[in-house]
Chains A and B, each alone.
Chain A
């Protein structure tokens, strides 16, 4: 059947609520309204106010309340209405959510999920388009995941809710309405496993979440120019699947990282560094990075210029020193070899 990413997320929440009485869904407008993006649509009427409910409008409160509920055995799934509106909860997330297991020597785990619609591409006005994954990925103790299609939205959200640790679940809001032919419930793949979305031999294009469709389009366009591009969708930023990325880059000898967040000190920079450290001897060219610009996310009319599109990816591929030959000696050596 045809399923949107939003529909898959809704199905995952419904199935999780049905599977375990301890799962609670709450946040701003998630009850009667079903969330501003309708991801929780129908859950209150199906499961009742006790299981899916509106809270006061206070993000720190929502996350802190979820922590307290974990202490009494619940598994909260909370929604932050938009990326930038999760910032009031930053202290709870970094000082408590991320550290609780560690600061209690493993005695208190927090099986909670913080869902955050993130990234741009929808012509949103300011504060509605941030790519905030870098803040969370930089904080030890948080798992950070982001789906790029409906099947993974379902799979990753069910994994996140069942995970014994806190998960920052980033939903690329531009993809909420993207459609896919799948049967639900679909097969789940564990955290820490990236997916090769397109096979290729000349370049590895590493990306995730909101940028995956751009990467696939760029790969298609590159094929017309004679470059065979392998596209890797990370799915989970933390934990990171070095194995899949390294295997690919050691085979292709070239790598470009694509992420819509601004580039400086971001997840894209981390990926480029990891690839350089592990694949240096295989590389024919420095790892390329394609990212958002080092500016605040712009007003809607400038969004097109800001967002890394197919052209910027193709430019980055074109710069990969095609006159040089990569050394493929290490192609068969795994990530830790």
Chain B
């Protein structure tokens, strides 16, 4: 007979292999050995995610192009990670909270945030272009893993308010080595906070491969030590990402506490446009991952069932081009930022010391403009 401890352990552990519902050829995978049931999402949802991934990838490519034109200071691409970027977002609602990293611009655009507001950080006109309170979406976070604790706190706050809103926090594989990752899992578990920690294991932290980050058999195994239920999923299988996310969201909404997901995926581009990935990985490795493309596989599945035809594909590609054109055009203007705004949001009210610095800058600007006009 199973002991209570064994039953508890079984409820928390991830499946021994990443959950996969559709294989890279578009064929359905026989479910065997997963710890939970992960039903195939409806064809309508798969069409929706396919559509959003096509747009997401185009947006991402456009952002990379904008770095070459000097419109963005830098861009960390998530090409290849579309199933995660889009799938996780499609599984939550606008009322739920999202805590993104620097890598997750595509996810933000998929969440319906104005792409120009998304790119504000990387264009350099502000640290965050959108309203985190109105959108229930935190500012993109660069200090690795630190946002996970905020997500735990916000999720607990929602629980205290009596809502069924959950929080979704993204994080990379490398960032699971940071202390805050562990503190966040532990806090979330102790306070039974409805938060999903979604690890995009894209195999690299800049140049450092996962093998140098951890000896854990899967990053999802990091959940059990904290009493956090976990799962691992093929992060390039949009159907599996949706199914596992659906389960995690339901787990959180029904008051069962936090959930950890490791999504196995791959960063096809360099860390950012400023990085050179050829210094630390082979092109063969990249090519192998190209064959596990998330968009192609769900497209094949949909076409195989007559759920997608050439007209729809053409229309979606046109919509993606229109989105790119819009982003290009709107980003192709010189923005000006009022230097006096520097002093506006240090505190709710300026201190005398800020007033003093402000007066100095105002005088400098006045002198500059006199020089220009004389």
Binding site for B on A (CB under 8 A): 50, 55-56, 58, 60-61, 63-74, 88, 91-92, 95-96, 99, 101-109, 140-141, 143, 164-165, 192, 238-240, 242-243, 335-336
Contact = CB atoms under 8 A, between A and B. Distances in A.
Contacts of B154: 68-69, 71-72
A64 B348 contact: no
A238 B351 CA distance: 8
Contact of B152 (A65, A74, A106): A65
Contact of B351 (A55, A60, A69, A239): A239
B157 A74 contact: yes
B132 A107 contact: yes
Interface class of chain B by DSSP:
helix
A140 B343 CA distance: 11
Nearest to A163: B348
B344 interface: yes
B146 A68 contact: no
A52 to B, nearest CB: 14
B66 interface: no
Contacts of A74: 157, 160
B186 interface: yes
Interface string B324-354: 0000000000000000000011111001110
Interface string B159-182: 011000001000000000001100
A24 to B, nearest CB: 9
A102 B161 CA distance: 27
Contacts of B153: 64-71
B149 interface: yes
Given A56-B187, A92-B149, A96-B150, A65 B353 contact: no
Contact of A68 (B131, B133, B155): B155
Contact of B346 (A61, A102, A242): A102
Q: By CB atoms of chain A within 10 A, which of B126, B139, B148, B158 has the most?
A: B139
Given A74-B157, A95-B146, A108-B132, A64 B347 contact: no
B127 A103 contact: yes
Contacts of B132: 71, 104, 107-108
A105 B187 contact: no
A297 B139 CA distance: 39
Nearest to B135: A107
A74 B152 CA distance: 14
A183 to B, nearest CB: 30
A95 B133 contact: no
A92 B147 CA distance: 9
A101 B353 CA distance: 18
Interface of B: 97, 126-128, 131-134, 138-139, 143, 146, 148-158, 160-161, 167, 179-180, 183-184, 186-187, 190-191, 344-348, 351-353, 356
Nearest to B347: A165
Nearest to B143: A95
Contact of B146 (A96, A143, A164): A96
Contacts of B138: 71
A68 B353 contact: no
A61 B353 contact: no
A332 B130 CA distance: 48
Contacts of A63: 149
A88 B352 CA distance: 31
A60 B346 contact: no
A71 B157 contact: yes
A165 B348 contact: yes
A11 B289 CA distance: 62
B352 to A, nearest CB: 6
Contacts of A61: 149, 152, 180, 183-184, 186-187
Q: Which 8 pairs show the lowest CB-CB distances between chains A and B?
A: A68-B153, A64-B149, A72-B157, A61-B183, A103-B127, A239-B351, A68-B154, A106-B345
Contacts of A238: 351
B133 A107 contact: yes
A108 B127 CA distance: 12
A70 B187 CA distance: 16
A68 B126 contact: no
Given A107-B132, A165-B347, A67 B150 contact: yes
Given A104-B139, A192-B352, A239-B352, A68 B190 contact: no
B347 A143 contact: yes
Nearest to A101: B345
A123 B134 CA distance: 50
A102 B352 contact: no
B4 to A, nearest CB: 23
Nearest to A107: B131
Contacts of A92: 146, 149, 180
A311 B133 CA distance: 54
Contact of A64 (B133, B155, B158, B183): B183
A104 B127 CA distance: 7
A192 to B, nearest CB: 7
B161 A72 contact: yes
B37 to A, nearest CB: 32
A165 B139 CA distance: 18
Contacts of A55: 187, 190
Nearest to A92: B146
6 contacts: A60-B183, A64-B152, A65-B191, A68-B149, A105-B345, A336-B356
Given A102-B127, A105-B128, A68 B157 contact: yes
